Structure 1
Amino acid sequence: MAKIFQVSARAGMTRVVEPVARGLLKAGVTPNTVTVAGTVGVLVGALGFGARGHLVTGALIVTVFALTDLLDGTMARMSGGSTRFGAFLDSSMDRVADSAVFGAVAYWLATQGDYPSVAAALLCLAVGGLVSYVKARAEGLGMTCNVGIAERTERLLIVGVGGLLTGLGVDRALPIALWLLAAVSVFTVGQRMVHVHRQARQLEPGGQR
């Protein structure tokens, strides 16, 4: 059910994004430009606002610019497919943006003296990087790894909603979101490890390693 909802939501977003992507391409804007601009926007929202306690503004800015991750991919597809450098740049900028978001959250929580939640934010950052690494490593070895309940978009959405609710006065919403995110991220790593292990057993001589 979660996977069906995820696919439906992304399909809906694609219908909204495609006209924007087409317009930007006609204007001469490249997917790589959108990738960098989106990252800069996330940095402004996270470090310029979120880290200073302006959680509502920060969450809204980060959410808007995080959507460029879908926009640049759509533009690349429309222009004939992603280049090797484009794929490399997109992945690298994602890591920069994620570090800014969770680093800003951890910093703000530290200023509030909520050190258990700081630990949760740092755990989300570390495990989130592992989620991406497992997929990249699997694909580098010639396997697929398109599974998991908490991919990058879902992770940013969870922390964004937590920050937004906390900024609106809902007590403990952000810490709860962080611990939830840490749990689903760990589960996603496990899902991907199992998925890759099954493929590897079929590919390795003798079916085992």
Structure 2
Amino acid sequence: MSKDKGSGRGYKDVLKDGAHAALDPLVSGIAAVGLRPNHLTVLGLLFSLAAGLAFAMGRFRTGAVITCLSGLCDILDGQLARKTNTITRFGAFFDSALDRIADAALLLGFSWFYMSNLVDMAVNPQRVLINLQRGLEPLTWAVIAMLAMLAAVGSLLVSYTRARAEGLGIDCKVGWFERPERIVLVIIMGFAGLGPVIPAGLLILVALSFTTAFQRMAHVYGRTRQQDPDSE
């Protein structure tokens, strides 16, 4: 990971600070009208559900725009909590739980699109011929749908490994591919629309999500070996 020279801070911290500074006036306005962090958390989930539905319907660019709004809410809720001094343990738990639903909704939206089109091909053979002429074989669509489901599993596993580690009292903020990176990649896939970018993006999501989960497993293994040297 690249570091901000002289401070030892990661590039993610630098980007986060810049985003927070840019959004501070908006956060102040939100605080002034009386909205609370949990309101933004729920709004972010609703945006993610709407984006997942858009992806499922094949409206990829619409889904990408809505995902941007969901991501904005995900940034704002935490910043609002800090600004209004309303950080609570339940708020952190609530935000994390709804984020998992949001992640699944986005990726399963892609899976539903490809699976539903496979079903349509099964009941309408003419669609198979049309797609074959476009270079799209049914098997290809099935593989893409499976990649989307695996990406959903991988994203949940990344979050679960961290949560389980922290339940054991082990800090586990390690790994290359966390939620912000996943959301950015989903947005890129959506704006690219139907074509090679979506399966490529899903393949990256699968590979890096599982890699990050295994990085966290290795980290926890190393820490527990230090604490419990006799464990296997």
Structure 2 length-normalised TM: 0.82
Shift, 1:161, TM fit: 0.6
> Which residue does 1:127 correspond to in 2?
154
> Which residue does 2:41 correspond to in 1?
35
Amino acid at match of 1:43: L
Is 1:82 the equivalent of 2:106? no
Superposition RMSD in Å: 1.7
C-alpha distance in 2 between matches for 1:81 and 1:193:
32
Shift, 1:160, TM fit: 1.8
> Which residue does 2:196 correspond to in 1?
172
Structure 1 length-normalised TM: 0.90
Amino-acid identity (%): 36
Larger Rg over CA atoms = 2
C-alpha distance in 2 between matches for 1:178 and 1:10:
25
Amino acid at match of 1:141: L
Aligned residues: 204
> Which residue does 2:7 correspond to in 1?
none
> Which residue does 1:199 correspond to in 2?
223
- After superposition, residues 69-108 of structure 1 pair within 5 angstroms as 69-80=74-85, 82-108=87-113
- Structure 2 CA distance for partners of 1:154 and 1:140, relative to 1, 3 Å: same
C-alpha distance in 2 between matches for 1:108 and 1:11:
37
Shift, 1:175, TM fit: 0.4
What CA deviation, in whole Å up to 9, does each residue of 1:61-111 have, x standing for no partner? 112212211111111122225212211210111111111111111011223
> Which residue does 1:163 correspond to in 2?
190
Secondary structure at 2:175's aligned position in 1? coil
Moved more, 112-121 or 10-19: 10-19
C-alpha distance in 2 between matches for 1:191 and 1:15:
32
Contact 1:2–1:149 (8 Å) recurs in 2: no
> Which residue does 2:59 correspond to in 1?
54
> Which residue does 1:140 correspond to in 2?
167
Shift, 1:2, TM fit: 5.5
Amino acid at match of 1:79: T
Amino acid at match of 1:192: R
Shift, 1:37, TM fit: 0.8
Gap runs ≥5 in structure 1: none
> Which residue does 1:24 correspond to in 2?
30
Gap runs ≥5 in structure 2: 4-9, 119-140
